[in-house]
Structure 1
Amino acid sequence: MPHRTAAARPPSGTPETPIEVPADVLAHLLLPSPEDAAEGQLRGADCVWCETGPLNVEAAVDLGERKTPTGETWFPRACLRCAAAWAHRGLFEHVPMCAQCADESSVCEIGRVLYRLALESRRP
């Protein structure tokens, strides 16, 4: 029986929809500072955490267009392994403090997205 917060996985060979990472979820992923990022990380070509690259569409989680403190635009992306690891950490911090997760976990968008990201490392 599937976990109540997890969406059913499509059959093998069926393309999955990419995970959309809302801005509220990014706060729980603890993105590194853009000032410390290499050029490839700023462009989204390499993982924002481990610098693995180049990333392709199937092996990356798009973390959206972001602004640096100086107003410049950067495009952080992550490899599936890092996105899953940071989402797992984010879940451990978020869930105990979230009233929605305590009452009905399927209602909390942050918890749902973090959970789905954490499962991505299991994707074949």
Structure 2
Amino acid sequence: MHRTAAATQPSGSPRASLEVPAGVVAALLPAAADATEDQLRGACCVWCEDGPLNAETAVDLGGQKSPAGSWFPRACQSCASAWAHRGLFEHAPMCEQCTDDASRCEVGLILYRLVRQGRWP
């Protein structure tokens, strides 16, 4: 699991960090072969290339292995939310646990929390 970066909201309340299961990260990430050098090292968002990212503005997606080697993707809050939203819509209809009781599905809950986290100002 990987912990998303904690950030402080303007009101001073800390944003809770989330444990993101490796399966969630793998389902959301683009291919490492398509990433720029800055995206591979986590300096820029893995989706929109915005940067530079820092510990307060980034969602850390943890170290990843690919045929080309290790990489360290991170995302801006907006992209993490948007991709988690897409992932949730793909995951939930095909997940038996989500259709029975969504509050018991770890993957669905993490995706939902990432969506909500990205909506904070």
CA RMSD of aligned residues (A): 1.5
2:13 alignment counterpart:
14
Quote the Cα distance in structure 1 between the aligned partners of 2:48 and 2:86. 16
1:4 alignment counterpart:
none
Alignment match of 2:63 (pick from 62, 65, 68): 65
Quote the Cα distance in structure 1 between the aligned partners of 2:27 and 2:85. 10
Query: Is 1:95 aligned to residue 92 of structure 2?
Result: yes
Q: Number of paired residues?
A: 112
The alpha-carbon deviation at position 104 of structure 1 amounts to 1.1
Q: Where in structure 1 do 4 or more consecutive aligned residues deviate above 3 Å? A: none
Helix, strand or coil at the partner of 1:58: coil
Q: Which runs of 5+ in 1 are unaligned?
A: 1-11
The alpha-carbon deviation at position 95 of structure 1 amounts to 0.5
1:121 alignment counterpart:
118
Question: Which protein is bigger by CA-based radius of gyration?
Answer: 1
Quote the Cα distance in structure 2 between the aligned partners of 1:90 and 1:82. 12
- Paired AA for residue 97 in structure 1: M
Q: Which runs of 5+ in 2 are unaligned?
A: 1-10
Alignment match of 1:37 (pick from 29, 35, 38): 35
Instruction: Among all aligned residue pairs of Structure 1 and Structure 2, give the percentage whose two residues are the same amino acid.
Output: 64
TM-score when scaled to structure 2?
0.86
Q: Which has the higher strand share?
A: 2
The alpha-carbon deviation at position 91 of structure 1 amounts to 0.6
TM-score when scaled to structure 1?
0.84
Quote the Cα distance in structure 2 between the aligned partners of 1:45 and 1:20. 21
